[in-house]
Amino acid sequence: MTQAKDLYKKNQELEGKVVDLTSEGSGVVKIDDFPFFVEGALPGEWVKIKVMKVGKSFGFARLMDVMEPSPDRVPEKDQVGRQIGTMTLQHLAYPAQLKYKQESVRAVFQRLGYFTDVEVAETVGMDHPWEYRNKAQIPVREVKGHLETGFFRKNSHDLVPVENFYIQHKEIDQAIVVVRDILRRYEIMPYFEKSQNGLIRHIIVKRGFHTGEMMIVLVTTKRRLGVEEDLVREITQQLPNVVSIVVNVNPKNSNVILGKENRVIYGRPYYTDTMLGLTFRISPNSFFQVNTQQAEKLYQLALEAADLKGHETVLDAYCGIGTISLALARHAKQVYAMEIVPEAIEMANQNAQINKLDNVTFEVGAAEHVLPKWNQAGIKFDVVVVDPPRKGLDPSFVETLIEQNPEKIVYVSCNPATCARDCRLLADAGYQLGTVQPVDQFPQTAHVEALVLLTRESE
């Protein structure tokens, strides 16, 4: 039997039609039923491609020419955004991006969740799908003898210098360049991965969408910078909205960005922002949705799905700093919430206090460990809200949740594939899947969030 590697060779040029988009946003070109994944190609296009790699069941190819373009193709804002993977769908018109995300959610619920007749609503998009990110984590390296900030070329650790990311707020892009130039002036050494020498690994900028407050985090290999007073003076003079400058120490040779130790060298250990009329303190390690405008839409949809009347006891699993918990608490009798990160629970308690909400109980621990304890304590939940990481719900958490038997489960997902898998487990236990609502938190990329309401079937 002839294998693909015998038919196709590296650097071979081929022509074909793009038949689909992958979940990562690459075009699928089939040559005699053998699929090649081609970055930058769109469905319906006739393209010329160059073979880069051939596997047993699929290959990768580079887009050489678009001979018949899709009507949904638009000019790229910046080719660099494709090279570094920050804007992998920028060549697709925004209405078509929203349609693609709706269909990709439908596909995983059918394929992985076995929901053959799932109803998927139109994707909730943005009026201005640019400059939406409120946080940047930017690596610092040496390029051609200079300290540079930018992003790694896809599948490599080669830094591509970038000054305008287009999907971050302009003030964040400006702040990165300001800090970069100050570090250059004081001859601060960038980090060298191979030798593990140098001082500055990353610059992190967090900005309150509604408040404009800004936090600068300098991720370093050592506790002391040596010129901290000078750095603080210059940064605060040039960036008056900065309310916090933090040194985060990460001496380990790993891909994890943040270390465990934070040292405030200016201002507060947090900055503030608002969401759904609530005020939140956000620390260097705290998770806060990077697209504030879309997160508000997502959380409002979650509140509407929960449809609280004021008498309910509610569980918020994976609560972070309490963004959903506190929004729920305004409409519930009592909210219980858990989060595995101790610092996040500390911030959540502070956020409850500053918002004058005393009907929330926060606890540190993994959801799959805390929920059984609350079960044993006899706490009965009417509504459960889950917003897990990309890996989805832990199987033991799902089992305990089924034992709890709440009337409603509101599932907020950053990974529709694992959401579909988890929803199948809940459906098999007697829950009815409602309409799945995609929300576009990350325009110009293939990522999509989804929200679904599961209700207990009547006995």
| Residue at a domain's end among 241, 275, 309 | 275
Structure tokens at 97: 């991006």
369 and 238 in a common domain: no
Residue 437's pLDDT is: 98
Whichever domain contains 228, its CATH number is: 2.40.50.1070
427 burial via Cβ count (<10 Å: 0-12, 13-18, 19+): middle
- Residues facing 409 on adjacent strands: 384, 454
Is 319 one of the annotated active-site residues of the chain?
A: no
Residues 350 and 207 in one domain: no
Identify the bridge partners of residue 280 per DSSP, sorted by sequence position: 273
Specify the pLDDT at position 28: 97
Domain check: are 296 and 324 in the same one? yes
Phi, psi (deg, nearest 5) at residue 113: -100, -10
Q: Looking at the domain assignment, is residue 108 inside a domain?
A: no
C-alpha to C-alpha distance for 81 and 88, rounded to whole angstroms: 7
Pairing of strands 46-54, 59-68: antiparallel
Q: Which amino acid is at 142?
A: E
Spatial contact of 115 and 433, defined as CB atoms under 8 Å apart: yes
**pTM of the predicted model as reported, rounded to 2 decimal places:** 0.94
Residue finishing a domain among 49, 73, 97: 73
φ/ψ region of 320 (left if φ > 0, alpha if ψ in -120 to 50, else beta) reads left
**Exposed e or buried b for every residue in 243-267, given b needs 16+ CB within 10 A?**
bbbbbbbbeeeeeeebbeebbebbb
Residue 96 belongs to some domain of the structure: no
Q: Is residue 257 located within the same domain as residue 159?
A: yes
128 assigned to some structural domain: no
Residue 111 inside a domain? The answer is: no
Under DSSP, is residue 246 helix (H, G, I), strand (E, B) or coil?
strand
Question: 15 to each of 21, 51, 57, 227, how far by Cα in Å?
Answer: 17, 11, 19, 58
Query: Tokens 């939140």 identify what position?
Result: 280
What is the amino acid identity at position 53?
K
Boundary of a domain, candidates 41, 57, 73? 73
Instruction: Using the Cα atoms of residue 161, residue 152, residue 344 and residue 404 in order, give the sign of their dihedral.
Output: positive
Nearest to 57 by CA among 39, 42, 36, 38: 36
The answer to whether residue 262 is domain-embedded is yes
Does 315 reside within a domain?
yes
Both 374 and 314 in one domain: the answer is yes
Which of these is catalytic: 319, 414, 419, 423? Answer: 414
Whether residue 265 is found in the same domain as residue 340: no
pLDDT at 458: 67
- What string of pLDDT tens digits covers the 459 residues of the chain? 567 777 899 999 999 999 999 988 999 999 999 999 999 999 999 999 999 999 999 999 999 999 999 999 999 999 999 889 999 999 999 999 999 999 999 999 999 999 999 999 999 999 999 999 999 999 999 999 999 999 999 888 899 999 999 999 999 999 999 999 999 999 999 999 888 889 999 999 999 999 999 999 999 999 888 899 999 999 999 999 999 999 999 998 888 999 999 999 999 999 999 999 999 999 999 889 999 999 999 999 999 999 999 999 999 999 999 999 999 999 999 999 999 999 999 999 999 999 999 999 999 999 999 999 999 999 999 999 999 999 999 999 999 999 999 999 999 999 999 999 999 999 999 999 999 999 999 999 999 999 999 999 765
Q: What Cα–Cα distance (Å) separates residue 321 from each residue in 115, 331, 393, 440?
A: 33, 18, 19, 22
Residue 65, beta-bridge partner list: 48
Output the CA–CA distances (angstroms, integers) from residue 458 to 225, 309, 384, 411, 434, in the order listed: 63, 20, 18, 20, 15
Q: Do 356 and 210 sit in the same domain of this protein?
A: no
**Phi-psi bin for 248: left (phi > 0), alpha (psi -120 to 50), beta?**
beta
Number of domains present in the structure of the chain: 3
Note the pLDDT of residue 390. 94
Q: Residue 36: give its domain's CATH number.
A: 2.40.50.140
Please check whether residues 308 and 233 belong to one and the same domain.
no
Look up tokens 């899709």; give the residue: 70
Domain holding 52, by residue range, is 4-73
Selection from 53, 56, 43, 134 nearest residue 89 by Cα: 43
Residue that the structure tokens 């006891």 belong to: 313
* CA distance linking residue 439 with residue 449, whole number of Å: 5
Do 300 and 426 belong together in one domain? yes
Residue 127 domain flag: no
CA angle 354, 359, 363 (to 5 degrees): 85
Separation between Cα atoms, residue 102 and residue 52, nearest integer Å: 30
- The SS3 of residue 374 is helix
Name residue 386's beta-bridge partners.
Answer: 317, 411
Residue 435 tokens read as 């309409």
